[in-house]
């Protein structure tokens, strides 16, 4: 696996703690827009 950016690590931390978190809630928690979070999660899959 390639090295992850800090924001990707933050997304993974939130999803590890709460795998059912919505994109809206996740975006608020990490400080990104919903579309940016969606793109990053899709890339991480």
Domain ranges of the chain: 6-44
Q: Report pTM.
A: 0.88
Residue 1 has pLDDT above 70, yes or no: no
Residue 3 has pLDDT above 90, yes or no: no
Residue 2 has pLDDT above 80, yes or no: no
Are residues 7 and 30 in contact, defined by beta-carbon separation less than 8 angstroms? yes
pLDDT tens digits, one per residue of 8-44: 999 999 999 999 999 999 999 999 999 999 999 999 9
DSSP string, 24-36: HHHHHHHT--HHH
- CATH value of 6-44 in 1.20.120.1690, 3.90.1170.50, 1.10.10.10, 3.40.1030.10: 1.10.10.10
Are residues 34 and 44 in contact, defined by beta-carbon separation less than 8 angstroms? no
């Amino acid at each position: 696996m390639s090295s992850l950016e800090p924001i990707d690590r933050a997304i993974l931390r939130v999803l590890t703690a709460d795998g059912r978190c919505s994109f809206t809630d996740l975006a608020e928690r990490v400080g990104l827009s919903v579309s940016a979070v969606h793109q990053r999660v899709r890339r991480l899959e």
